[in-house]
Homo-oligomer: A and B are copies of this chain.
């Protein structure tokens, strides 16, 4: 059996992309650590907060119900991840969880005032990072666009 062959192949090409995504995603998380530590939250908790900040904004008031599953659709996460994460956020005073009166199966999530106060702090840190880094905004936008295009093709298969 051939178990040792050359690496100038699909395998190596693809390895590089799948690993680049894996490495870049973790590097991004690492880059956020100073801010996250200062705010006392984790990276996925920050993503949850960003969705909740959007939902709490005036424009979005009459939008979708802020349920666990709506949050899950937005972040592509399931209740197995979100339920314990939201419980920790509730413990830390960042969100409130309550059952919908209309349908007791649904758990509604809302950001607290304390959770809202983290938004300007996060914004300030992010904008100062962008300023002090050598990262070009156009590059970021192109990468973002290409990533989503790739992600859509990936999930279409």
Contact = CB atoms under 8 A, between A and B. Distances in A.
A53 B105 CA distance: 49
Interface of A: 1-7, 9-11, 13-29, 31-32, 43, 47, 50, 53-54, 56-58, 75-76, 113, 116-117, 119-120, 122-123, 126-127, 129-130, 132-135, 137, 139-144, 146-151, 153-157
Identical chains bound together, number? 2
B146 A142 contact: yes
- A interface: dominant SS: helix
A71 to B, nearest CB: 13
Contact of A24 (B25, B116, B117): B25
A116 B3 contact: yes
Given A20-B151, A22-B43, A140-B150, 7 more contacts: A18-B47, A21-B24, A22-B25, A24-B25, A26-B76, A31-B154, A143-B143
